[in-house]
Structure 1
């Protein structure tokens, strides 16, 4: 292993250790509402800040080199495997309850179409052209990335759109979900419904959302994790088919409808 890779691994462990020492922080907003900031959120923030150009000097510059970034991205799936195994073990004791609610889990998968129905018109209003196709087909995870790269290539406007969303989701997705899920729980949504909604096809986003919910509802911790894990698994599996047979045709129709007067 190259020395720069070793530096990167040590750097990652140091960031994780600092984030775990800080722990879960609750920021009260008003009398009843509080935002939950997880160690994962701190780890993302620290690595983002240290990656800013003014701070990339000396050994930090070596850690954030293009070669290291490509290496980290390539082996990210290996790092996620123990997490997925842990969630799989969590699903098993709750399997009977999950199966009994099977139709609900399947129905909520239709929510994946929200990126097209809601996001595409907004993207076009903001001035995006073909990039809107890449960045509104889904949450920009691996499934959408593979589909867009195969159909349009990543050098196309559609490819730039999905890559931009992938990067934004990686940087800010977990932070957003860790803040947003507890807020919705105070509005009145049940923790079970929010746990199911946490399974958006992204391991980091699901982990952030379900962990934040668990910190607010510790007595439902195992159920929340099981629901979120099962939902995430379904989204990863069924999401490919809903993208191919529902989201992509709907997006194509809406894009032509919304841009029919645009000659550019």
Structure 2
């Protein structure tokens, strides 16, 4: 085994241990609570240690080009256990979920919003091929897998989707932690908010559902079941929406908006 790869394994295990020791942190912000997951701390620590200032000695071996390429190529496999967790949360509430199943299907049309709204804005801001990766979806596991397989993560499209993935992990969870209780205070039903939290991001769903559970602990099982079901369907049906609707629409719009770029 390559020695640098051994250093990478040790580094990953250390980061996981530290992040889990920090655990889920709730930060009061007026009447709201911001939830920070261990995943957020793991990404922040890893990003900071990846700065050139620290990339010396042991860290230089950890952040070697070979390790970076390996991590980018096989990142998607790390996401697979999440699917099993979603299924475990959905099963106990399956009857209730099936009664409103059509609502879950309708919300999948929202996946096209990132293309219709986001792509023109990204191009106006000066992005080109990066915009394809950044606006195909909300930049989570499905989009990450699609872009990495079609373009590779080393491409401009890959940099676009990875940027959105990291930004979504760092700030998406915080946004959802604040936004969900605000809508609850405005009179939205907790079931609807739980369904809306399953947008295809494990960190965002967990942050939103955690804040909802904190506000309504007596409905914990319902909130987690609806959120997990929505997340599961978004990950499954959303993949077909992305491949057969979002991607062709995006390519069509991109050709119209950016002349001469192939």
Q: TM-score, normalised by structure 1?
A: 0.81
The residue number in structure 2 matching 1:61 is 60
Cα 1:155/1:93, change in 2 over 3 Å: closer
In structure 1, C-alpha distance between the alignment counterparts of 2:172 and 2:211, rounded to whole Å: 8
Structure 1: 5+ residue stretches without partners: none
C-alpha distance in structure 2 between counterparts of 1:24 and 1:233, whole Å:
22
Asked if residue 43 in structure 1 is aligned to residue 42 in structure 2, the reply is: yes
- Asked if the contact 2:139–2:168 (Cα under 8 Å) also holds between the matched residues in 1, the reply is no
CA contact (8 A) 2:198 2:227 kept: yes
After TM superposition, list the pairs within 5 Å mapping 1:93-242 onto structure 2: 93-141=92-140, 143-144=142-143, 153-154=151-152, 159-160=155-156, 162-189=157-184, 190-242=189-241
Structure 1 position 47, deviation (Å) = 1.2
Give, in angstroms, the shift of residue 99 of structure 1.
0.9
Instruction: Name the CA distance, whole Å, in 2 between partners of 1:17 and 1:149.
Output: 28
Q: CA deviation at 1:83?
A: 3.2
**Which residue does 1:247 correspond to in 2?**
246
Q: Any idea what SS the aligned residue of 1:53 has?
A: coil
CA contact (8 A) 1:25 1:37 kept: yes
Flag the 1:163–1:216 CA change in 2: closer, same or farther, 3 A: farther
Alignment of 1:15-94 (within 5 A): 15-30=15-30, 32-94=31-93
Contact 1:174–1:209 (CA<8 Å) still a contact in 2? no
In structure 2, distance between residues paired with 1:212 and 1:12: 28
Distance 1:75 1:133 in 2: 21
1:1-50 deviation line (CA, Å, top 9, x unaligned): 444333323322322232233333232223x1232222221121111111
Length, aligned pairs only: 257
Q: Distance in 2 between matches of 1:168 and 1:219?
A: 37
